[in-house]
Structure 1
Amino acid sequence: MTADGTSPDSPQARAAKLLRRPKLWLMPTILSGLLALLLSLLYMGGIVSPQSDLHDLPIALVNSDTGKPLTGQKQNLGTQIAAAITSDTTSDAADWRQLNDRKGHKRLTPQPA
């Protein structure tokens, strides 16, 4: 038994020995802190100015609504919504590209290398 009432092989005794030896834990602590700082700076660098980074971002709009139009309507609801989105010329936020279902699925599916 040690002076504090624990056996030399207990986890508390081993942890206390490690805490008294800063050469063992000081370097990993500093490296972990620097790595966390580096990763946070890299993340912040990518999102600090989204307006300029995402200007004219191409977005694919795929209308796969193949249902019949509602009663009294000439087009189905999906076609009406797609037309309303792509005809909005007041906003400079996105570059909408209307694709058919096959082209949209092909572009969104990862291609093998």
Structure 2
Amino acid sequence: MASTDSTGSAETGPRRRHLSPFRWAFPIVVVTLLASLLGVMYLDYVVDPEKNLHDFPIALVNQDVGDDLKTGDQVQHVNFGDQVADGLRAAVPSDQIDLRVLGINEAQLQMQSARVYGTIIIPSDFSKRLGILGVGSVVPGEISKPVLT
């Protein structure tokens, strides 16, 4: 039988259920533990990057075609891109980083398939821009700086 209030009408509302502490605390504890685990895993990876990044594959693309520089009466062909690429190959420790000299198409394919994690690109006008940079101190006008991507 339904209960009645002072006016004599019957109560028809649903019974209220109280959530037990286990029902509301369990999801909070699970989410907190997962967030803590992710934080610990991230910090473990960041603390010692040399241990985790050994044999890190990087592509080196040298597109520089060189430039002819006038030194007095002589014209000398220089290719600063080759010098930068040779310097990178000599300076990068091969036991820590796997520096791969590739063409631009192969580098893009390897980036898309995650076989390399980064690409250093020396543009085709790198030597020309370096030559202009040297002349730019005496010639007025805006200078485009050489850029490695």
TM-score range relative to shorter protein: 0.5 to 0.7
Q: 1:42 to 1:50 in 2, by over 3 A?
A: same
Q: Which has the larger radius of gyration?
A: 2
Aligned to 1:12: none
**1:34 has 2:37 as partner:** no
* Contact residue 69 and residue 78 of structure 2 kept, 8 A: no
| C-alpha contact 1:58 1:96 (8 A) present in aligned 2 | yes
Q: TM-score, normalised by structure 2?
A: 0.47
8 Å CA contact 1:69, 1:75 repeated in 2: yes
CA RMSD of superposed structures (Å): 3.2
Match of 2:88 in 1: 85
**TM-score scaled by length of structure 1:** 0.58
Distance (whole Å) between structure 2 residues aligned to residue 101 and residue 41 of structure 1: 38
Runs of 5+ consecutive residues of structure 1 not aligned to the other structure? 1-17
What is the number of equivalent residue pairs in this alignment?
92
Checking the alignment, whether the CA contact within 8 Å between 2:58 and 2:100 is kept in structure 1 is yes
Cα shift at 1:81: 1.3
Aligned residue number for residue 67 of structure 2: 69
Which deviations, in whole Å up to 9, do the C-alpha atoms of 1:21-67 show, x marking residues without a partner? 6445322221111111121122234334322222332321112334x
Q: 1:78 to 1:104 in 2, by over 3 A?
A: same
Counterpart amino acid of residue 44 in structure 1: L
Partners of 1:69 and 1:76 within 8 A in 2:
yes
Which protein is richer in strand relative to its size?
2
Higher helix fraction (1 or 2): 1
